[in-house]
Structure 1
């Protein structure tokens, strides 16, 4: 397959907005595994549009606000774990701690399952099987690349999946069991987790409509939400959710939401620990809310938002996003013709680290994203959640989770650099998501 790398903001804008209909699909290959092929990430064309139009309302601000108490409960369990660390004077493996938090959050918000990864991570079946989904190695990815060169029929015959067979089997069984139990429960409407929202959307017998959004998402920084015009299929379609769709989408929510948000939180706490003045400024902003960290409150903390935005710029979890050209395409004002079927790679890494758009790009500086400086941001040079109609559907959820966790933790604890804190950080190879070696931080109660 031919590929083209694009790192020009104007071209990225054009290809992801005006000409989005020519670059809808992410990939053109199927594995034969419905947990992979029926996920929102893999779906193509009108099937993707129909599914996205059903799933998007489940991530509205109203739905996220209903889930917010579930996240607070998870943060409180993390708080108990950190308090023990602080009292004992132990160093904190921040990657493990934040991974435990996001695992708790996904279990609660996606599957309605309460776990305590801080204490029972070695014995809990959910955690054990979840971790199997993330045990990638270089051999697996080389094999996957080789399979991509085969015709669709041969790939489907192989039935290859990047996820663990036992892990996939466990989650299929778990989700089927939960949904069967919910459907038999006349009071299932009490649940506020994502799986219940999917059941509602499938049954069409409960409220899953777009509710009125509050002003909780800074679109000037993170991008716009879905455009209804971009989600109109060429031909009218009934957006019906099958059991496989529900399984695939719920599992994608877990895979996409676990490690990415944990990565954001660990790099943010690391950055605050080596920038004490920034940590103090953030503490003062959050502390002014006097313990009111409601869904609405965390949306009104500009320095917190700037810290998160800058962390996603400097430590962007995914270095690229990509699309498939649906037809021959003339590239901007050039004479270059992009052939149909070309893999177009949008280079997030180069843009986020370009001195042309971000002076001193390797320096963590939240000031870049404060309201007074936002007019200096060049559109389509910042894409932590992708861009255009096919950006990350869970963006609002990820930001809510990160803001809630940091607001609670920074007011109670001070994170410090220790002799074991690696500066600069060292990164692992052969990882899809930016992954560092273990980050150790000191922690003390304020």
Structure 2
């Protein structure tokens, strides 16, 4: 008798589980949205959870697989997620209906540094964006160019030393030294001497930011099944304490002095003296307290985005120049002409006279999209224009930037490195929101122009002095590390560098 009761109980549990799964995973089918078949409990992200591929690469594969579909349905655990493929609908999400898709919906950890410009939501984001925008005006960037030039000079001396002594050097770590030096100088007024100190505390911290611990990765994976669960767990405070200490030291050193550098920290100190940051809206005035933690949170984002992403882009660019000497020669000739015209110095205005360098940089960002997924969350029930698909408030939205960039519908022969994709006549043919290395709309990357300027100055100076060629360790195809936050190649990026 007991056996039959147990068997019946097991059957009931199994059937209940089956129908629960069937109901949960029929969500997109019932809405007429196609998508890959989910697995029980984990949904569509098993390979990401097992760290066999990154979320960026997985969503890219989904984008490319469902050709002709405007929308694709996925499940993150039990949570329905929609991937928007069509540039016109992407434009609706990122620009026209931005007020509905203002927030990223990033599930933050319990760290007090989570209140940063990248992850902030609602009025907090609006206030931070409004107050931080002055850091990246043309006038500010123009003032930063001499600081960048000093960093370039140190970088060139270091590379010259490597070449003179036949020291092999992986190009990603090499470009990281340059961008780290620039961020230290332009954001915090610090001389990091990154080229001399192999284990600078800033470079050590960068590795910790972009190489999450096993515990941190576990929390991210758990959060994929149970959204929001990360907030219930404490995380390491090492990164938080580092940036909090950095901010407090800089504030203490500059307190009571005139704002000479006019850099990121000068602006933060100026805003801090106001006590609270405010913004007038339809409901009155919104305010946030600008304490040391909020400043440290912005410093973390500025440091992370400005250092790692630009270093990655420059390293991929140098890799392609080693494989394409004709492109390198054309860039070199253009750079030499501008240097000659401006008496051996690059200025902010002279960068406008390097159109081919800009084309190569844009093509690098297309082929190697460092930040490959754009995330949004709907703040109300929304029907995508021209479709019958309606999603409820709180639905996560994903847009695969690197999927769009690898889509032959917008970029013929996308696996080929072809700067002509961004010639003036071809650039006009690219649909809006089909090319978005820095995002699009009001929530695009605030440091976009800073990234372009520091990369252009560093690349031009490097090409003026050095030639890049293949080495025996140069790979033509990359395998990417699925455990890393940004696009990182396994085995590094190796080229041969020689003097001009």
TM-score tier, shorter chain, comes to: 0.7 to 0.9
Q: Which has the higher contact order (CA 8 A, sep 6+)?
A: 1
For each residue in 1:10-44, what CA deviation from the matched residue of structure 2 results, as whole angstroms up to 9, or x when unmatched? 000111111100000012644332111x1011111
2:111, 2:237 within 8 Å by CA — same for their partners in 1? no
The DSSP-based 3-state class of the residue aligned with 2:376 is strand
The 1:355/1:402 distance shift into structure 2, 3 A limit, reads same
Q: TM-score, normalised by structure 1?
A: 0.88
1:348, 1:382 within 8 Å by CA — same for their partners in 2? yes
The 1:135/1:417 distance shift into structure 2, 3 A limit, reads same
Equivalent residue for 1:190? 260
Equivalent residue for 1:267? 316
Hey, what's the Cα distance between the residues in 1 that align with 2:168 and 2:262? Answer: 36
Hey, what's the Cα distance between the residues in 2 that align with 1:200 and 1:440? Answer: 44
Q: CA deviation at 1:91?
A: 3.0
The 1:92/1:58 distance shift into structure 2, 3 A limit, reads same
Question: Which structure has the bigger radius of gyration?
Answer: 2
Q: Which moved more, 1:54-63 or 1:191-200?
A: 191-200
1:7, 1:348 within 8 Å by CA — same for their partners in 2? no
Equivalent residue for 1:381? 434
Hey, what's the Cα distance between the residues in 1 that align with 2:496 and 2:281? Answer: 52
Equivalent residue for 2:203? 127
The DSSP-based 3-state class of the residue aligned with 1:4 is strand
Structure 1 gap ranges (5+): 206-230
**Residue 413 (structure 2) pairs with residue 360 (structure 1):** yes
Equivalent residue for 1:52? 129
2:211, 2:485 within 8 Å by CA — same for their partners in 1? no
**Residue 216 (structure 2) pairs with residue 140 (structure 1):** yes
Hey, what's the Cα distance between the residues in 2 that align with 1:49 and 1:27? Answer: 15
Structure 1 counterpart of 2:246, from 170, 174, 186: 174
**Residue 167 (structure 2) pairs with residue 118 (structure 1):** no
The 1:362/1:150 distance shift into structure 2, 3 A limit, reads closer
The 1:240/1:167 distance shift into structure 2, 3 A limit, reads closer
For each residue in 1:302-336, what CA deviation from the matched residue of structure 2 results, as whole angstroms up to 9, or x when unmatched? 10110110000000002211101101110121111
For each residue in 1:382-440, what CA deviation from the matched residue of structure 2 results, as whole angstroms up to 9, or x when unmatched? 00001110000110110111001011111111111111111122322222211113111
**Residue 377 (structure 2) pairs with residue 324 (structure 1):** yes
Q: CA deviation at 1:287?
A: 0.6
The 1:8/1:151 distance shift into structure 2, 3 A limit, reads closer
For each residue in 1:86-122, what CA deviation from the matched residue of structure 2 results, as whole angstroms up to 9, or x when unmatched? 2233333101101111111111122211112222122
Structure 2 gap ranges (5+): 1-78
Equivalent residue for 2:32? none
**Residue 422 (structure 2) pairs with residue 422 (structure 1):** no
1:324, 1:342 within 8 Å by CA — same for their partners in 2? yes
* Matched ranges for 1:191-230 at <5 A: 191-203=261-273
Hey, what's the Cα distance between the residues in 1 that align with 2:85 and 2:391? Answer: 15
* Matched ranges for 1:30-179 at <5 A: 30-36=108-114, 38-122=115-199, 124-137=200-213, 140-147=216-223, 155-160=230-235, 164-179=236-251
Hey, what's the Cα distance between the residues in 1 that align with 2:148 and 2:408? Answer: 37
Hey, what's the Cα distance between the residues in 2 that align with 1:373 and 1:421? Answer: 30
Q: CA deviation at 1:295?
A: 1.0
Structure 2 counterpart of 1:258, from 307, 312, 332: 307
**Residue 462 (structure 2) pairs with residue 409 (structure 1):** yes
The DSSP-based 3-state class of the residue aligned with 2:468 is strand
Equivalent residue for 1:284? 333
* Matched ranges for 1:229-244 at <5 A: 233-235=281-283, 236-238=285-287, 241-244=290-293
The 1:311/1:28 distance shift into structure 2, 3 A limit, reads closer
The DSSP-based 3-state class of the residue aligned with 1:419 is coil
The 1:92/1:130 distance shift into structure 2, 3 A limit, reads closer
Equivalent residue for 1:227? none
Q: CA deviation at 1:142?
A: 3.1
